[in-house]
């Protein structure tokens, strides 16, 4: 059985642990690899290597750091299909979906290759007579990334390329449920010319995460995952005087106005709601139909019902299995609660299976109508292929519904009215808004900007905000004396 290595000080090494985590294929729950629960001594070695590497890496010319990223994005593109196959094997994602996962990460690496322009400081000459002030952007030190199961390529690539391009070194703790993709990303990064110790990969579970969070050497922590874990990581990190950005839960709404293009709405909502088996933090899990657009719920449900789950290489499959039996059980429990609480089931995927793979974690597309905000299926992030449909009379009611929700990750509105779109984008209390775009994930020259309970911290992932998160600003005020020296002491705080 394949035992997943760890990356410590430039070498891929097997752990000496006696505890291993089973990595399974979600389509049949058969074991495909074992991931180690890292020993404390191994974590210490990785952190020591990162500390040592930082002393030299921070002094490497920014243009050379950018060239490492250029070589890396080239290798990632060369190995795009290979990475997607590995990703599919451990997540169950369809091949095309897996390729998208990898590609959205590559886009961030491309942005990291532009690091020099994002680390430029500012200068003002003669802030006072003969005195200049300028700022420099400098790296923090050793940074930590804790990544989730649902995007094992994209999310690690959100983190360590931007941190390392900024001059830091990095410890990556990938999800124990799918570590094969991150370790292959690390292999390609070393092949791209990254010096030893700049990137280290440690495997494990919550105990290893807590040890890392409490370690004195870690300066910044980036996390993507669930709300309770995100709250714990944010509090632990900040209690230990570390920077933290924690991306947590979501309940994303799409508002459908009566003047929207019906075909466009239905085509977009199908993929946005059940694509990737709903295991996306930006999935549309609530469709809010305004006025006469409520008549579109039935044809939408009919289209969603045509989507079938299947194996990664099945060209007819719309999505794959859920990640684990526990994830499947949770989704089925919430579907059952929705039925018991009075929602109308238009499409029920509870009993879905795939021939020959009956032991897999399959849940079919599910659509509820007549959902109300007090129902569990509305209040909780289901993280499965389940769409809740709510009907309101006006855009103002739709805005009130969305703004009363504790999450603020993403939302969208479908409309032909510029006035309605502008009103929505201006008044909705959500960080990422799509207009006739179902899943408004920004490209990496912007930043990923969830709000409210979807995010703990103040500086977001990738883009300019990521550079600010992984760096400190140093401001220098200088005077070079000439013949015009002021006479006598200056007893005020003014620069003279």
**Known catalytic residues?**
281
Note the Cα 108 to chain centre separation in Å: 12
Closest by alpha carbon to 324, among 12, 70, 17, 30?
30
Tokens representing 374? 């007090």
d(CA 237, CA 432): 26
Helix (H) or strand (E) holding 413: strand 410-414
What residues contact residue 166 under an 8 Å CB cut-off, 6+ apart? 115, 119, 137, 139, 467, 470, 471
Q: Would you say 163 and 470 are in contact if contact means Cβ atoms under 8 Å apart?
A: yes
For residue 451, the number of C-alpha atoms closer than 13 Å in the C-beta half-sphere is 15
Tokens representing 405? 């929700």
* DSSP secondary structure letters along 189-257: HHHTTPPTTSEEE----HHHHHHHHH-TTEEEEEEES-HHHHHHHHHHHHHTT-EEEEE----EEEEE-
DSSP secondary structure letter of residue 486: P
Beta partners for residue 478, in sequence order = 132
How many helices (DSSP H) and strands (DSSP E) are in the chain?
Answer: 16, 23
Q: Indicate the pairing of strand 20-25 with strand 30-36.
A: antiparallel
Q: Would you say 101 and 127 are in contact if contact means Cβ atoms under 8 Å apart?
A: no
Tokens representing 443? 């490209």
Tokens representing 442? 């920004």
3 state SS of 134: strand
d(CA 152, CA 306): 28
What residues contact residue 412 under an 8 Å CB cut-off, 6+ apart? 252, 253, 254, 255, 272, 284, 433, 434, 435, 436, 437, 438, 439, 440
d(CA 388, CA 418): 26
Q: Strands, E, within 20-114: which ranges? A: 20-25, 30-36
Sign, CA dihedral 97-347-294-386, equals negative
DSSP secondary structure letter of residue 357: -
d(CA 257, CA 415): 5
Q: Would you say 145 and 156 are in contact if contact means Cβ atoms under 8 Å apart?
A: yes
């Amino acid at each position: 059985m394949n035992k997943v290595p760890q990356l410590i000080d430039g070498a891929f090494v097997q752990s000496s642990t006696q505890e291993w985590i089973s990595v399974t294929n979600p389509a049949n729950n058969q074991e495909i690899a074992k991931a180690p629960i890292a020993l404390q001594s191994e974590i210490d070695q990785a952190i020591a290597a990162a500390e040592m590497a930082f002393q030299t890496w921070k002094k490497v010319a920014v243009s050379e750091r950018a060239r490492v990223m250029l070589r890396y994005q080239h290798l990632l593109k060369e190995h795009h299909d290979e990475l997607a196959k590995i990703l599919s094997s451990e997540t169950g994602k369809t091949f095309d979906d897996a390729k998208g996962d990898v590609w959205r990460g590559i886009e961030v690496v491309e942005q990291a290759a532009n690091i020099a322009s994002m680390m430029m400081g500012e200068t003002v000459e003669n802030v006072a007579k003969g005195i200049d002030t300028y700022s420099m952007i400098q790296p923090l030190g050793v940074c930590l990334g804790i990544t989730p199961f649902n995007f094992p390529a994209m999310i690690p690539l959100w983190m360590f390329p931007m941190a390392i391009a900024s001059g830091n070194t990095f410890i990556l703790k990938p999800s124990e449920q799918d570590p094969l993709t991150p370790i292959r990303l690390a292999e390609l990064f070393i092949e791209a010319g990254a010096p030893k110790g700049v990137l280290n990969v440690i495997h494990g579970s919550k105990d290893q995460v807590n040890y890392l969070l409490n370690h004195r050497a870690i300066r910044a922590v980036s996390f993507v995952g669930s709300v309770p874990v995100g709250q714990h990581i944010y509090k632990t990190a900040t209690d230990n005087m570390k920077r933290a950005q924690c991306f947590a839960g979501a309940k994303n709404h799409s508002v459908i106005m009566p003047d929207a293009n019906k075909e466009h709405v239905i085509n977009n909502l199908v993929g946005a709601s059940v694509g990737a088996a709903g295991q996306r933090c930006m999935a549309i899990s609530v469709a809010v139909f305004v006025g006469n657009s409520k008549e579109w719920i039935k044809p939408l449900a009919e289209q969603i019902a045509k989507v079938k789950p299947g194996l990664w290489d099945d060209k007819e499959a719309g999505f794959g299995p859920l990640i684990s039996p526990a994830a499947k059980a949770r989704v089925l429990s919430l579907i059952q609660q929705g039925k018991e609480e009075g929602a109308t089931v238009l499409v029920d995927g509870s009993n879905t299976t795939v021939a020959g793979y009956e032991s897999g974690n399959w849940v079919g597309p599910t659509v509820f109508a007549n959902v109300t905000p007090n129902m569990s299926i509305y209040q909780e992030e289901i993280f499965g292929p389940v769409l809740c449909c709510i009907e309101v009379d006006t855009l103002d009611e739709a805005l009130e519904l969305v703004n009363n929700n504790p999450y603020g990750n993403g939302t969208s509105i479908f409309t032909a009215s510029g006035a309605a779109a502008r009103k929505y984008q201006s008044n909705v209390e959500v960080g990422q808004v799509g207009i006739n775009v179902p899943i408004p994930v920004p490209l990496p020259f912007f930043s990923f900007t969830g709000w409210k309970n979807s995010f703990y911290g103040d500086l977001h992932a990738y883009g300019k905000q990521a550079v600010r998160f992984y760096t400190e600003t140093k401001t220098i005020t200088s005077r070079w004396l000439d013949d015009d020296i002021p006479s006598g002491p200056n007893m005020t705080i003014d620069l003279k």
